[in-house]
Structure 1
Amino acid sequence: MLSTNFTRTFGVMHPIIQGGMQWIARAELVAAVANSGALGFLSALTQPSPDDLHAEIERCRQMTTQPFGVNLTFLPAIRPIPYDEYIDVIIRSGIKIVETAGNNPVAYMDRFKTAGIKVIHKCTSVRHALKAEQIGVDAVSIDGFECAGHPGEDDIPGLVLIPRAADSIKIPLIASGGFADARGLVAALALGADGIIMGTRFMATQEAPAHPDIKRRLVEADERQTELVLRSFNNTWRVHKNALTEQVVSLEKQTGTQFPDVAPLVAGTRGRAVYSSGDWDNGVWSVGMAQGLVYDIPTVEQLVSRIVGDAGDLIANRLASLRTA
């Protein structure tokens, strides 16, 4: 086993986290991750209401006795999101680990701390990581440019961003973006991180609630088949490259394009349908460059055991063998 500041602080066996992927981070996947000794996060906003989140937490508890958390993403929305009610459910349900993302969670930190909840905040820059540490989060995850979803606007890849963050903060640091195997885990530890987050890789597991055709697509695709959309609106989003995303990029290049012009193409309901229908070409859906490292569709237990075992071998054998007397 690998013991780090992250595993010791959060009471989990392995320094691996399953990210809170919207539509995918549901009980069947999160419980499997928890049972493997890693840390899984339910996506709160995947659930239509706070009551639905409570039911999903209870469903997860029926499948695992191990620790798991809830991801809560704070983003502007056309319809106001009842964040206080979601937090009420998280506290009432006895959840002890929350991953926050999007806007600064400072307004909710007192409630989390009073309830004894540890907070991991997701950042895309060192300056945001420092601010998160200042407001009292217990750990920071840092998203390199390779990541799925929203990598920020600085375009700094993990090889630079992770050690910069490690040099700058004192709380546990989790590396995110481009991780899919033992080599990535060992590299992240060498760069100064205390663990890794994987999203795309966990999507291609047997327990992930996605259509088999989506999982097969992840195996078939390579690292070049992602696209950055919404760049012109300063809301960059890394997604799987398909006919629809190319249409979005083409519209963004046209003079005078406004967000309402692309909104129907990037609608969340359309992206959600991809995971249930398997029609990967007919929606905008998040995926990272790590899809180029996805070669199979194992169970979560097989995946985590393989990564941890191979990481131990890499450290004990390959890296040790490079030393000279």
Structure 2
Amino acid sequence: MIKNRFTEMLGIEHPIVQGGMQWVGRAPLAAAVSNAGGLGILTALTQPTPEDLRNEIRKTRELTDKPFGVNLTILPTINPVPYDEYVKVAVDEGINVIETAGANPEPYMPLFKEHGVKVIHKCTAVRHALKAEKLGVDAVSIDGFECAGHPGEDDIPGLVLIPAAADKLSIPFIASGGFADGRGLAAALALGADGINMGTRFMATAESPIHEDVKQAIVEGTELDTILNFRPLRNTVRVRKNQVSTEAVEILNNGGKFEDVQHLVAGARGRKVFEDGDIEAGQWTVGMVQGIINDIPTNEELINRIISDATEIIQNRLANMLTATSPVS
């Protein structure tokens, strides 16, 4: 068992968090992660309305009595989103952990503090993490360039970003982007993080509510099978390399505007991928870490394996490399 200030703050058994993922962060997955000792996360905007989020929270409570959280990602959207209403539902339903991402969470911090909500803010740069710390968030999730979804515009991989954050932050933080096993957890802890956040790895689990063909595609994918879209728009997103995403990248790189690719990258098409299993039907997010994902376990099997492997690495493999040295005469 690996205990630290992060697990104690959230009341969880293991320092492993399931990140919020559009169309994926639903009750079955979040509950399975929490039941296995990690922190499951519901994705607020996966639910069509705030009331649907309320129902999903209640459904999750029927599946687990362990802590779980809600992700709220505030990003530019084609259609206006009632973010305030989603926040109110989460708070009213007694959610005590909220993962924020995208825009600054400052407008909601007074409400969160009033209701004792622990806030984990996702950041892709140390400067953003330090700003979030000043705002009073309880922890941050540091996303390296390897991550699925939005890696920011600095292109700093976790091997540099994690220790850079550790040198500057005083609040707990977890590492995100490129984590799938015990090796990753041990490495993150060694670099100064308090735990890990995984998205792609949790997509390829038994309880993940996506089509089995998508899970199998992740298992069969390599670290080379992702592509960065929206770079010219400075809203970079890492997605699976397929016909749709490749076409969109080519259009934008040749001077196209968002309007020219909107029909290709629409969220409804990405949702269709997850529901129908046609991995060429739209643009869908996945991380480079798919290159080291080789099976589709239950969440209990996965988390137990990660903790066991990380413990073995820390206690045995690394410890056995230490040798006693004789004093220099």
In the superposition, the TM-score normalised over structure 2's length comes to 0.98
Counterpart code for 2:310: A
Offset from partner CA, 1:180-209 (integer Å, 9 cap, x none): 000000000000000000000000000000
- After superposition, the C-alpha distances for 1:123-170 in whole angstroms (9 at most, x for unaligned) are 000000000000000000000000000000000000000000111110
Q: Which amino acid aligns with 2:285?
A: S
Two-structure CA RMSD over aligned residues (Å): 0.7
Code of the residue aligned with 2:317 in structure 1: it is: R
Query: What pairs with 1:157-306 in structure 2 (closer than 5 Å)?
Result: 157-255=157-255, 257-306=256-305
Equivalent residue for 2:311? 312
Distance in 1 between residues matched to 2:274 and 2:195, nearest whole Å? 28
Q: Deviations over 1:202-229 (max 9, x none)?
A: 0000000010000000110100000000
Question: Structure 2 CA distance, aligned partners of 1:223 and 1:113?
Answer: 40
Matches within 5 A, 1:10-29: 10-29=10-29
Q: Deviations over 1:29-51 (max 9, x none)?
A: 00000000000110000001110
Shift of 1:53: 0.2
Amino acid of the structure 2 residue aligned with 1:304: I
The equivalent residue for 1:7 is 7
CA offset at residue 74 of structure 1? 1.1
Instruction: Show structure 2 runs of 5+ residues with no match.
Output: 325-329
**Structure 1 position 145 matched with structure 2 position 145:** yes
Displacement of 1:80 after TM fit? Answer: 2.0
SS in 2 for 1:142: strand
Rounded to whole Å, the distance in 1 between the matches of 2:135 and 2:14 is: 27
SS in 1 for 2:264: helix
The residue type paired with residue 269 of structure 1 is A
Q: 2:296 corresponds to which letter in structure 1?
A: I
Name the SS for the 2:29 alignment partner: helix
Secondary structure, in 3 states, of the residue corresponding to 1:207? coil
* 1:251-276 Cα distance to aligned partner (Å, 9 max, x none): 11213x11100111000000010001
Q: 1:1-150 to 2 correspondence within 5 Å?
A: 1-150=1-150
Corresponding letter in the other structure for 1:300:
N
Letter in 2 for 1:92: D
SS at match of 1:109: helix
Read off the aligned partner of 1:311 and give its amino acid letter. Answer: A
Structure-1 residue corresponding to 2:327: none
Deviation at 1:282? 1.7
- Taking the aligned partners of 1:253 and 1:67, their CA distance within structure 2 comes to 44
Q: Distance in 1 between matches of 2:158 and 2:20?
A: 19
- CA distance in 1 between partners of 2:137 and 2:206 (Å): 33
Structure 1, gaps ≥5 residues long: none
Partners of 1:79 and 1:277 lie apart in 2 by 24
Give me the whole-angstrom Cα distance separating, in 2, the residues matched to 1:269 and 1:88: 26
Identity %: 61
Q: Counterparts of 1:132 and 1:65 in 2: how far apart (Å)? A: 30
- SS of 1:165's equivalent in the other structure is helix
- Report the Cα offset of residue 77 of structure 1: 2.2
Partners of 1:244 and 1:80 in 2: CA distance: 25
Q: Deviations over 1:89-139 (max 9, x none)?
A: 111111100000000000110000001100000000000000000000000
TM-fit CA distance, 1:78: 2.9
Distance across 1 between alignment mates of 2:238 and 2:201: 15
Residue identity matched to 2:198: M
Amino acid at match of 1:74: I
Q: CA deviation at 1:312?
A: 0.7
How many residues matched? 324
Task: Describe the SS at the equivalent of 1:62.
Answer: helix
Any idea what SS the aligned residue of 1:298 has?
coil
Q: What TM-score do the two structures reach when normalised by structure 1?
A: 0.99
Residues in 1 aligned to 2:257 and 2:223: alpha-carbon distance in whole angstroms: 29
TM superposition shift of 1:85:
1.1
Deviation at 1:4, TM superposition (A): 1.6
Shift in Å, 1:76: 2.0
Q: Tell me, in whole angstroms, the C-alpha distance in 1 between the residues paired with 2:189 and 2:171.
A: 14
